[in-house]
Amino acid sequence: MHPMSIWRYANPVEFLRVSGAALPWFWAGTALCLATGLAWGFFGTPDDYRQGSTVKILFLHVPAALMAINAWLMMLAASLIWIIRRHHVSALAARAAAPVGAVMTVIALFTGAVWGQPMWGTWWVWDPRLTSFFILFVFYLGYIALWNAIDEPDRAADLTAVLCLVGSVFALLSRYAVFFWSQGLHQGPSLSLDRQENVDNAFYWPLLICIAGFILLFLSLVLLRTRTEIRARRLRALQNLQARA
């Protein structure tokens, strides 16, 4: 293997070494970005002329919603790597990301409800975006439940990978189907790369920093949880060896 190949990190020992060295930096970056972004967002931006200070929940809501979707995409990529190249670290990373993604979904739904109550006059409506997040949450639950239900590690990894592929198709399909079913209250996208219809600059930069903070938080948590999974599996292997001896 080429010494610079990325698959070098698929070796659990190498992964533990590199991730162990990188993790403190990830945590530091997370703390720095979230502290700066949230402080700037909450105290350094003006109140919206119609929404008042309620608008500032956007600094939690938008990054959490982004990561709720990206966590699933990461699980999909990791599942594909597991199916194609059989790297155990990849399967364990997918398993590690699922609860983090589920919690991000809950944060997005919860902050949305807190925002929606004063703005729309209701905690919850069956709006397409809200409903798709609800659906995404159920997919996370099913994925986590299937991992927990199967004892044999390789079989669990294979079957959850199949579920992740099928779930990806149907989560996407449901997202477009619910637009057919209901017109919503939720606003359109406020952020885009071509910056045609973005939020005001006053909100834009602190929001970007918060998003960076959530990405780093997600990566730190997934690295940490993957390391735990690797060690748990190693522990189990050692216990099995001992029981046999």
Partner 1 sequence: MSPLRAVLGRELRLALRSGGGAGLGLAFFLTVILLVPFGTGPDPDRLATIAVGTLWIGALLACLLSLDRLFQTDFEDGTLDILALSPLPMEMTVALKCLAHWLTTGLPLVIAAPVLAITLNLPGAAAPWLIASLAVGTPALSFLGAIGGALTVGIRRGGLLLSILVLPLYIPTLIFGAATVRAAIDGTDPTPPLLLLTGLTLAILALAPFAAAAALRINLR
**DSSP assignment letter at 52:** B
Q: How far is the CB of 158 from partner 1 (least distance, A)?
A: 4
Among 119, 165, 185, 191, binds partner 1 (CB under 8 A): 165
Contact status: 162 vs partner 1 (CB under 8 A) = yes
As given in the structure block, the two tokens for residue 217 are 């938080």
* In the complex, least distance from residue 21 CB atom to partner 1, rounded to whole angstroms: 36
CB of 141 to partner 1, least distance (A): 6
- Rounded to 5 degrees, φ, ψ at 20 are -65, -40
Is the CB of residue 172 less than 8 Å from the CB of residue 114? no
Of 177, 202, 208, 215, the one binding partner 1 by CB under 8 A: 177
- Does position 125 bind partner 1 by CB under 8 A? no
- Which residues on neighbouring strands pair with residue 52, listed in sequence order? 48
Residue 62 sits at φ, ψ, to 5 deg, of -65, -50
Q: Quick one: which segment of 9-17, 94-102, 142-150, 212-220 binds partner 1 (CB under 8 A)? A: 142-150
Neighbours of 231 (CB within 10 A): 12
Contact status, residue 163 vs residue 76, Cβ threshold 8 Å: no
Judged by CB under 8 A, the residue of 32, 48, 103, 142 near partner 1 is: 142
Is residue 10 near partner 1 by the rule CB under 8 A? Answer: no
Residues in contact with partner 1, shown as a per-residue x/- string from 185 to 224 under the rule CB under 8 A: ----------------------------------------
The span of 22-30, 108-116, 156-164, 187-195 binding partner 1 (CB under 8 A) equals 156-164
φ, ψ of residue 52 in degrees (nearest 5): 65, -145
Q: How many CB atoms lie within 10 A of CB 73?
A: 12
Q: How far is the CB of 154 from partner 1 (least distance, A)?
A: 9
180 lies in the binding site for partner 1 (CB under 8 A): yes
Q: Which of 19, 90, 105, 174 binds partner 1 (CB under 8 A)?
A: 174
What is the DSSP track for 83-118? HHH--HHHHHHHHHHHHHHHHHHHHHHHHHHHHHHH
141 binds partner 1, rule: CB under 8 A: yes
How many distinct helices (H) and strands (E) make up the chain?
6, 0
Note whether 135 binds partner 1 by CB under 8 A.
yes
Our CB check for partner 1 shows the closer of 63 and 128 to be: 128
Is residue 149 within 8 A of residue 92, CB to CB? The reply is no
Report the C-alpha gap between 27 and 164 in whole angstroms. Answer: 28
Fill in the DSSP letter of residue 150. Answer: -
Nearer to partner 1, 49 or 180 (CB): 180
Which positions lie near partner 1, rule CB under 8 A? 135, 138-139, 141-142, 145-146, 149-150, 155, 158-159, 162-163, 165-167, 170, 173-174, 177-178, 180-181
